[in-house]
Each structure stands twice: as structure tokens, then as C-alpha cells.
Amino acid sequence: MSCLVFQSGVECSYPLPHAGPDARLSDSLINSVAAVLLGYGFPRLAAPDRAALETALAAFLYDSQESNT
């Protein structure tokens, strides 16, 4: 995934370079995002949903080309 520069001319902050495991992408972060979703009226996450959420967050946060090296 690469960053697109929008009409405002502001560059994206994400994805980040990925040099290995990142302690910030933790169960606590997944729980926090799940709680926000629940607070907005989305259903509670089941175990497979939690795994998918973690994968989606990692895909958004980190440069996938660098994470495969």
C-alpha cells in the first residue's frame, strides 16, 4: 500500500516502515479499537473477528512490502 497525496497537498503518515515486531500493536490496542467499535453500536467481536481486526490494523499501519523482507 502506498500513500496518495490528496488535493490538500498533505502527505499521509501511514503506512510506517516495518522493521519487525512492534509492541504497540498489542492485545491492548485491539481491545481498545474493539471497545470503540462497540461504543459506536457495532457488534462485539468474536475470536475470528479479533484476528481479522489485528490483520487489518497491521495492513493499515505498516508497509507490507517492507514487512515481507
Give tens-digit pLDDT for 9-45.
788 888 998 878 889 999 999 999 999 999 999 999 9
Are the CB atoms for 34 and 45 separated by under 8 Å?
A: yes
Say how far apart CA 25 and CA 59 lie, in whole Å.
11
Are the CB atoms for 4 and 15 separated by under 8 Å?
A: no
Domain that holds residue 38: 1-69
| Alpha carbon separation from 69 to 15, 19, 41, 47 (Å, rounded) | 16, 9, 39, 29
Total-model pTM = 0.74
Q: What is the total count of domains within the chain?
A: 1
Say how far apart CA 57 and CA 62 lie, in whole Å.
8
